[in-house]
């Protein structure tokens, strides 16, 4: 069996909290007194373009929130969106210790503005060699093409790589290509699973 040389990481739910998933949107609905069903319906219409870089954050907000006058500003809403990103510190610190031992890359679904805020704020360039982010490559997990592209970019055999994610449907897409996978449930389990692959801090 080939030794794992490359780790591909999801970001939201693994290294950081999610940026703009259903829980974050629900908090925004409550904070800004939005009509939930209408907001979610509008979000669903535009989220694919938002996460694949075809729609900017301003365009997304125009479609989902500011299609009518509001008692709050666009900047206030953006600031709130950004505030939802927090580190999962134990996992983030652990990933940092592996940065000198493995090729490190993300495979994550995220809009450009939120992705770049998170990369900058949490200094992810000090951990990762490559960002295979949906907003940059125009593909989203669990589409098998995003995993194939990631493999092409690092030029590794699938068996030499491991993909870490917290969602089973995303894990399945990577597994179909022969990548080793870890479904993250908590930090001790992640650490143990990586140790079983010969990867230790």
What CATH number should be reported for the domain holding residue 162?
3.40.50.1000
Low-confidence ranges of the chain (pLDDT < 50): none
Give yes or no: residues 32 and 72 share one domain. Answer: yes
pTM for the full model? 0.96
pLDDT at res. 79: 98
Give yes or no: residues 65 and 102 share one domain. Answer: no
Q: Are 46 and 63 in contact (CB under 8 A)?
A: yes
pLDDT tens-digit profile of 98-156? 999 999 999 999 999 999 999 999 999 999 999 999 999 999 999 999 999 999 999 99
In a domain, 201, yes or no: no
Give yes or no: residues 32 and 96 share one domain. Answer: no
pLDDT at res. 2: 74
Q: What are phi and psi of 5, to 5 degrees?
A: -115, -15
Q: Which of 63, 78, 1 is nearest to 32 (CA)?
A: 78
Domain termination site, one of 64, 83, 102:
83
**Tokens 């503005």, located at residue:** 113
Residue-range definition of the domain harbouring residue 64: 22-83
Number of domains in the chain: 2
Q: CA 122, CA 155: separation in Å to the nearest integer? A: 27
Number of residues in the chain: 201
Q: Where are the alpha helices (DSSP H) in the chain?
A: 22-32, 36-51, 57-64, 74-83, 89-98, 112-121, 134-137, 144-154, 168-175, 187-196
Give yes or no: residues 95 and 133 share one domain. Answer: yes
Q: CA 199, CA 98: separation in Å to the nearest integer? A: 8
Give yes or no: residues 107 and 53 share one domain. Answer: no
Give yes or no: residues 188 and 119 share one domain. Answer: yes
Count CB-CB contacts under 10 A for residue 87: 14
């Amino acid at each position: 069996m080939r030794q794992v040389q490359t780790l591909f990481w999801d970001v939201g739910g693994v290294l950081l909290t999610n940026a703009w998933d259903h829980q974050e949107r629900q908090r925004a609905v409550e904070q800004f007194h939005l009509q939930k069903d209408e907001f979610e319906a509008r979000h669903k219409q535009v989220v694919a373009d938002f996460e694949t870089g075809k729609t900017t954050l301003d365009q997304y907000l125009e479609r989902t929130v500011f299609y009518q006058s509001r008692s709050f500003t666009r900047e206030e809403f953006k600031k709130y969106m950004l505030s939802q990103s927090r580190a999962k510190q134990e996992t983030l610190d652990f990933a940092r210790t592996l940065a000198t031992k493995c090729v490190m890359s993300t495979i994550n679904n995220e809009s450009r503005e939120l992705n770049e805020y998170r990369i900058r704020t949490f200094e992810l360039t000090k951990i990762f060699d490559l960002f295979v982010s949906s907003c940059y490559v125009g593909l989203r997990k669990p589409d098998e093409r995003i995993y194939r592209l990631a493999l092409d970019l690092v030029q590794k055999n699938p068996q030499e790589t491991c993909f870490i994610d917290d969602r089973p449907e995303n894990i399945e897409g990577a597994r179909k290509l022969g990548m080793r996978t870890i479904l993250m449930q908590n930090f001790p389990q992640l650490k143990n699973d990586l140790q079983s692959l010969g990867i230790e801090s």
